[in-house]
């Protein structure tokens, strides 16, 4: 649930409305798991993050959240409840943040009492990246990482992502009587059940020779194109300015930081060779046949835009019949130190780390 526009991960969400988030969540899980598993086509769905990450203090990703139970249930938990009841997703992931002082990865009330026992979640719960360890080294909830593992597993987390010391520490915790074998058996059962359902014990590995028959095929590309077209939102088409191909513009100017920037693909994508993608500028050149398309490169980096090029663009604009400005945030993962949105960012800000109640109290004392 994206409820703070300062949050850098708004682009990873389905929006601010519980109804919309619920409907999209249900559709996504059904699309991935296909109601019942087809071993050749299905994958596990993971619903995430449980919960409240979109209202962290100051819009900061992973920052603490203070919220009443009514709003928590009616807004932030409602999509989880409906999706679990209607689609039975096989995995779930807690959030980075604390809720009312309790880290989600240590919140037994949230993961076990509500999600498992009340909502009927039957899959396994997997930690987010090193968030079990964070109970000790960031949230300062436990004196050691081993203690953090005990608290998190006891609270309901079944699978660790990731780290080699986890298994050794879990064995020690069981030997010491701090975790029961029954709890470990329950976690392993859910994970093994998922693997059996996917046929991973009979067919563990992808056949690389056949990958080109199932990956990036024409049917997938057509589906992706259809999704992109349906996802476009046109706020206004004053004087029927669009489509450009139907107009008679002699000179068209394209400018802006996202004019020729593959960051428009969003966060969580790999950098692509130039031949693999088309930018806004590419699209305008292809569509505006018969028009002369001009462009000025002002730079993609909002922090380091070229002022001379901006002045050139302003001067050129006076001679154009149509000007298209491609602006917006940059969440491209490969622009890690310069991106203005995405994980871990506030929109338009410098990188931010995971913030805890303990961090905030220390800052207040200063």
Element counts in the chain: helices (H) and strands (E): 12, 8
Per-residue confidence (pLDDT) for residue 335, from 0 to 100: 86
Q: How far apart are CA 237 and CA 64, in angstroms?
A: 42
Per-residue confidence (pLDDT) for residue 356, from 0 to 100: 52
Domains of the chain, earliest start first: 10-198 (3.20.20.300), 211-335 (3.40.50.1700)
What are the pLDDT digits (tens) for 110-121?
A: 999 999 999 999
Per-residue confidence (pLDDT) for residue 358, from 0 to 100: 53
Q: What are phi and psi of 260, to 5 degrees?
A: -135, 45
Per-residue confidence (pLDDT) for residue 162, from 0 to 100: 86
The parts of the chain modelled with pLDDT lower than 50 are 360, 362-366
**Predicted structure pTM score:** 0.86
CA distances from 10 to 35, 329, 354 (A): 28, 11, 17
Q: How far apart are CA 267 and CA 259, in angstroms?
A: 17
Number of neighbouring beta carbons within 10 Å of residue 307: 9
For the CA atoms of the chain, what is the radius of gyration?
A: 24
Catalytic annotation on 128?
yes
Q: Residues 6 or more apart from 173 whose CB is under 8 A from it? A: 146, 149, 150, 153, 179
Per-residue confidence (pLDDT) for residue 204, from 0 to 100: 84
What are the pLDDT digits (tens) for 236-294?
A: 888 888 888 777 889 999 999 999 998 888 888 888 999 988 899 999 999 888 899 99
- Can you read off the two tokens belonging to residue 282? 């590419």
Per-residue confidence (pLDDT) for residue 216, from 0 to 100: 85
Q: Which of 128, 131, 158, 267 is catalytic?
A: 128
β-bridge pairing 322-325 and 251-255:
parallel
């Amino acid at each position: 649930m994206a409820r703070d526009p300062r949050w850098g991960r708004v682009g990873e969400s389905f929006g601010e409305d519980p109804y919309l988030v619920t409907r999209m969540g249900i559709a996504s899980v059904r699309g991935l798991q296909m109601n019942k598993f087809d071993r050749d086509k299905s994958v596990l769905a993971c619903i995430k993050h449980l919960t409240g990450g979109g209202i962290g203090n100051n819009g900061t990703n992973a920052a603490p959240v203070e919220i009443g139970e009514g709003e928590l249930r009616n807004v932030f938990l409602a999509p989880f409840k409906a999706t679990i009841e209607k689609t039975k997703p096989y995995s779930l992931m807690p959030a980075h943040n604390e809720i009312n002082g309790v880290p989600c990865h240590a919140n037994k009330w949230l993961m076990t009492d509500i999600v498992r026992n009340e909502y009927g979640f039957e899959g396994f719960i997997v930690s987010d990246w090193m968030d079990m360890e964070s109970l000790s080294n960031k949230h300062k909830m436990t004196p050691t990482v081993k203690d953090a593992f005990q608290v998190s597993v006891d609270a309901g987390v079944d699978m660790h992502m990731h780290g080699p010391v986890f298994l050794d520490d879990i064995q020690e915790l069981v030997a010491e009587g701090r975790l029961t074998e029954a709890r470990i058996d329950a976690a392993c059962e859910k994970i093994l059940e998922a693997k059996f359902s996917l046929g991973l014990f009979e067919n563990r590995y992808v056949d690389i020779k056949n990958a080109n028959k199932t990956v990036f095929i024409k049917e997938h590309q057509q589906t992706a194109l259809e999704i992109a077209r349906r996802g476009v939102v046109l706020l206004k088409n004053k004087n029927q300015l669009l489509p450009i191909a139907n107009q008679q513009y002699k000179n068209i100017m394209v400018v802006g930081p996202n004019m020729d920037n593959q960051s428009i693909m969003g966060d969580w994508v790999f950098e692509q060779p130039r031949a693999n993608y088309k930018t806004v500028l590419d699209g305008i050149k292809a569509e505006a046949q018969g028009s002369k398309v001009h462009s000025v490169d002002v730079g993609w980096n909002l922090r380091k835009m070229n002022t001379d090029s901006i002045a050139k663009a302003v001067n050129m604009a006076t001679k154009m019949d149509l000007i298209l400005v491609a602006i917006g945030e940059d969440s491209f993962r490969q622009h890690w130190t310069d991106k203005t949105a995405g994980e871990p960012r506030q929109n338009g800000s410098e990188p931010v780390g995971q913030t805890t109640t303990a961090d905030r109290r220390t800052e207040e004392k200063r």
